[in-house]
Structure formats: structure tokens, C-alpha cells
A and B are shown apart, each in its own frame.
With several copies, the nearest count.
Chain A
Amino acid sequence: MKLYEYEGKRLFENYGIPIAKGWLWQQLSEEARYPLMAKSQVLTGGRGKAGAIVEVTDRSKVVLIAQDLLKKTIRGHKVSHVYLEEKIDYDRELYLSIILDRNKKRPVLLASGKGGIDIEAVSRQDILTIPIHPLMGLQAYMKRKVSYFLQVEFRKIDEIIDHMWQLFSDEQAELIEINPLFVQSNGEMVAGDAKVIIDGHTKPSANIDYLPRQKGSFEEKCSDIGAVGVELDGNIAVITSGAGLGMATFDLVCSKRGTVRALVDLGGHVIHDVNAAEELIKEVRRLSPKGILFNFYFQVASCKVTATAIANILGGDSLPVVVRLRGIDQEESENLLSVFPNIETTHDLEKACERINFKLEGPGIAHHR
């Protein structure tokens, strides 16, 4: 789960990572010392370039600027809140992060003297990379290496990295990024930004104030039901009983020149729960696909659950539906679906992909709509 900067800063506060004084717009304190930086809260990067961070020189300008920022959409993300922070004077901008490297199967501590810009734009030799063994955790020698590399006092960086590690471990983070980490003229350090991603499978341990999430997107609705959904801009909604099977079906549909409106992995819970399956199908329908391709192959669950949901929501509809199903209670499930003229069933994956394309495109060579 990605956190808003505001939430990340609250975690930093909890764990003792120094931050500037800051308030959500509605909670702005009388004691705030101007200038402030008004920062749009969105779950994406590149806010600076997008003009989503604006300096507020005095109190009179706060409302106008905040209202203006709240109208913005950045990389497709609507600005949900405005966070105001006292502006920090600084000599240097550094970069510090701990990320979970899936290939190395361990956390990695990254440091760079080139803070304040996208880390992907920094050349490799300007980034110090220190893998951390999961069974040993952060070690003092690693912090010492960072202090030499960044040419900052060990005492100053030592605590910040310790607290980052504490946060990373206790909150089961996948990423903590401080970019920039401001170094002030007196050597003090302040986290300019806070990018935090938490493992969605665990409960956060710190008790902080979370901003409400907009539950509007298709992805989020699927996630609430217990499935994994991806929205795309083609025609066919593809619903399968697994991530790998989903990607393979997706590839096959595309290789036959079909286009995909949505790809949904039912997930381990939905395949046993007819209500959840019905909810999910309704969500898919709201995307107005031109057709739906189901592909499920069960070794443990019964096909009847998903088939029943399909029959209840899509049976007798005008929307073309192809269901490829295999596994337990296969025949019974087919019988359940075969009564509806808009639903076609098959056992064969390739045929299913061809049939759904055919239903949308008609025979002959497919063309892009």
C-alpha cells in the first residue's frame, strides 16, 4: 500500500526521522512560519515538475493556492489533500532509501549525494548500494559507509538510518525513500519528502492518521472484493482463476489480435464465494466491455460457484460471453450456462480465445476498432 507524503511524514515523526513542521490545509496552525510549501497529496511521483508543489509566501495566499492545487490531476491521480510545510533552507540535497529488492531477496540501502531529482536519472556510480541480510539486519559498518560516501558526519546520518531501518522492519515496508534529504548549513538534516510503501498483507504497527482513500478505481474495487483487477483500454474483459493463467490468456487473446478492456484474477477467496463473484462480475460490466472471456481451471474449488455467478449476472444478457471451464463439477456447470444464448462454453483455451474474438469481430481478418 502506497502512503501519501502526509502519512509517510507522520510515520517519520513516530520513528524520529526529522521533518519540517507541517499541517493539512484544513488544520493549518496560526503559528505556521511563512514561507510554506503547499504540496499536493497524490500517490504518484513527479509532483515538482507537474507544478503540484507551490511556495506560499504569506497567509493571504493559502486559500487560493490550496484550492487551485485541489483541482489538479497528476499522472491520472486526482489531488486529494493539500499538505503545508514550513520551507527548509538547505545547503545540500541528499538521497536515502531502503527498498526491498525482490531479486536479491533482501532489503537494500541506497544513498546518493544527488538528491532532489528522480533517482532513476542519477548515474550508477553516484549511488551507493548496500544489501542488508534479512537475518542480520542493518549493521553499523553500513552506516559508516554511507557517511563516507555522502561526506556527512557519522553522528548525524547514523540516527536517521537507524530510524529508517526501524520503520522499515516494524511497519514491514517495501520502500522508504527520503528524496531529498536536506542538509542545512549547521549540518542538521531534514526529510524533504516521504515516500513509503507498506506490504498490503500486514497491519501497520504505528498508529497514525491515514487520509481517506478514494475507492473509485476499478483496481481498488476488485481489491476490496478480494480479486486482482487491471483496467486497460481494449474491448474484451478477461477473467481467470489465477495470475499466471490470466497473463497467458491475455497473451493468447492479444496474439489473435483481440484487445483487452480488463484483466481480472479471481483470487483464492472469490472462487468459493458466489456473492463475491457476482459483485466482481458487476464491476467488470461497469467498464462496458464488448465481451467477456472467462477462463477457469480448478483443482480444489468447484466450477459451480463461478458458473452460478455468471449465470445470475450475465445469463440472457446481450453481451457476448465465452466461458472456458475445466475441473471439478465441470459438466454440471456447463449445463447451468448452456441455457443462455449469449453464453458459449468450451473446454479448450485456444478455442475460447478465438471464439470471443470472433463474436466481437466476426469472421475474417480482425481489425482495430
Chain B
Amino acid sequence: MPIIVKEESKVIIQGITGNVGRAFANRMIQYNTPLVAGVTPGKGGQYIQSIPVYNSVEEAVVLAHADTSFISIPPKFVKQAVLEAIDAGIKVIVIYSEGVPIHDSMEMVHYAKAHQVLLFGPNSAGVVSPGKANVSDIHDTILKQGKVGVVSRSGTLTYEVIEMINKMGLGVSTVVCLGGDPVIGVQHADILQRFEKDPETDTVIYIGEIGGNDEMLSAEIIKQMTKPVFAYIAGMYAPEGKRMGHAGAIIRNSSETAAQKQQILKEAGAVVLDVLVDFPRSYSDKAVINK
């Protein structure tokens, strides 16, 4: 049982008539992701291949039973699209758009939470459970079904992880890209809980970044997990001050460097990787220990 998107998901693309939206629609159709409709206000009545385009998300929910939305529209319209989706009853939302105003993100994130909606992003590369549904920009051809769950802020880094996993002869259960923006919806901790419960996942790769306090929340979950978590925090060698935000500085959260995050995760029981490419060796070490 995949944990966020499944074969029975009913996926829509908000912004399906744009270049990106259309490309995603074509790929979803080609690789059997359960795409049921597209939404572009004012373009209702059109078709993308066999997929109907509606003016509103409500129509897509009522007529096509949509429950999952992939949003790729200009950033200043994203907030409206998300509120519309939530109000219409969509339960999983991926915001693929970059450059969404941070005040909009704050509102969307709180609104989604109050409605128990899983909101990924803004600036998320999406979510995919290979063989079931692909609501991400990760190309179906590089995805192989397997038992590794991947959760990452970064999309591009995730491709790297998948390649590594493929080379090791393994595959992925679900890949979740949370988005690179400073304020995002779903966080690592939420996904870790799902991976722990997911019978199709036996190993977790955790990709974090410097900045923010995600790892403090994640550590609480990792402590209670039985499945091994391999964690890499990008920015281990990043010079201080160059990327550190003003907000963090004033809030004086001293746990925002990679080294301190590594420490927190290590204490919680994760296997910490200094560089991403250490995963294969760490994985076989762990396997040996567990024998």
C-alpha cells in the first residue's frame, strides 16, 4: 500500500493547458498515472488527449471524483488555486510552481493543515510511488519499484538518490519531495511516520538541508522508528553566514547547521551520511550488522 498516491488516486493538474501542465499530462497518460482531469479557469470544455479540462476544481471533484492535485501555474495565482482545491475537497496537493510569495505560503500551509490536507511545496518536485501513480517530475523511466522510501526537500538531489538506489539493484517504494522554499507544508516528520507504518517500505533515505528546525521534529519520530533511516544533510561544508537567514539568527536557534543537525539525527538513531555517495557503503555495513 503506497502512502500518499495510489493506483486508485484520482489526479488532476491545475494549469493543465500551460506548457508544463501539458507535458506532465502527456507523461502521466503515457505511464498510467491515474489522471482524471485538468483545470484551467476559462478553458473548460477542452481536452488534453482524452482528459477533460474543467473551469473549476469543484467540477473535477464532482464529475471526475478528483482527490489529488498537481499545481503548475504562475506563482502569483498559486494561493487561489490551492484554496480552491482545498475548498473543493482535494486531499493531496503538490505545488510544483516556484517563486510563490512567502506570505501566500504561510496562509496556504495553515489553511491546509486546518483541513487535514497534505500540501507539498511550494517548489516541490512531487510525490511518486512507482507502478502506482507519479505526481512528480521524476521521470517514470528512471524509477524502479522497491523497498526504499525517500524523503527530501530537494527535487534534483532526489534524482541522484534514485540513480544510486538503482545502481545498488534496489528500488523505491515512495519518493516524496517536500519543496525547497523556506515555508512549506508537509515536513519530513510527517512522512517518516507514514514510512514506518508502510509495509512496502523497509529502509528510509532522509535528505535534509541546513537552516530551519526540521531535524528537531524528525528526530522525535526517528527515535520511535524500527526501520533504518539513512540521513544526509546537504550543506555540511557550507560556509557560515552565506546562506543563514536573518530570521534564524534572530530566533537564535543554534541547531541549524549541518553538523548540529547530524548530531541530533545520530542521537535519534539515524545512520548519518557525510556525503550522499556514502549511502551504498553505509547500507551494506548496516545490513552486515543486522545479520
Contacts and interface: CB of A to CB of B under 8 A. Distances in A.
Answer yes or no: are A and B bound together in one complex.
Answer: yes
B237 A242 contact: no
Given A175-B246, A230-B243, A248 B275 contact: yes
A367 interface: no
Contact of B180 (A99, A244, A251, A252): A244
B277 interface: yes
Interface stretch (B198-206, B228-236, B263-271, B282-290): B228-236
Interface string A96-132: 0101111101111010000000011000100000010
A144 B41 contact: yes
B18 interface: no
Nearest to A230: B242
Given A148-B44, A299-B139, A299-B159, A100 B106 contact: yes
B189 interface: no
B137 interface: yes
B221 interface: no
A41 interface: no
Contacts of B235: 247, 250-251
A212 to B, nearest CB: 23
Chain A residues touching B, range: 35 or more
B98 to A, nearest CB: 5
A134 B107 contact: yes
A350 B277 contact: yes
B249 to A, nearest CB: 7
Interface stretch (A23-31, A46-54, A194-202): A194-202
A210 B118 CA distance: 40
B20 to A, nearest CB: 7
Interface in B231-268: 232, 234-239, 242-243, 245-253
Nearest to B182: A102
A297 B106 contact: no
Nearest to B163: A326
B154 interface: yes
B80 A201 contact: no
A169 B102 CA distance: 11
Contacts of A201: 75, 99-102
Contact of A101 (B58, B142, B234, B247): B247
B245 A102 contact: yes
Contacts of A328: 139
Interface in B11-53: 20, 23, 41, 44
Contact of B157 (A140, A174, A248, A327): A248
A299 B152 CA distance: 16
A174 to B, nearest CB: 7
Interface residues of B, number: 72
A299 B162 CA distance: 12
Interface string A165-177: 0000100101100
B10 interface: no
B139 to A, nearest CB: 5
B156 interface: yes
A244 B100 contact: no
A240 interface: yes
B232 A248 contact: yes
Contact of B154 (A148, A245, A251, A268): A245
B98 A254 contact: no
A290 to B, nearest CB: 18
Given A107-B106, A252-B276, 4 more contacts: A139-B80, A243-B154, A245-B156, A251-B234
22 contacts: A99-B251, A100-B103, A100-B106, A101-B251, A102-B183, A108-B251, A136-B107, A141-B83, A148-B41, A174-B247, A202-B103, A242-B180, A247-B234, A247-B238, A248-B234, A251-B276, A254-B237, A299-B139, A299-B155, A300-B20, A300-B23, A327-B159
Interface of B: 20, 23, 41, 44, 55-56, 58, 75-76, 80-81, 83-84, 87, 98-103, 106-107, 109-111, 114, 125, 137-139, 142, 152-160, 163, 180, 182-183, 207, 209-213, 232, 234-239, 242-243, 245-253, 274-277
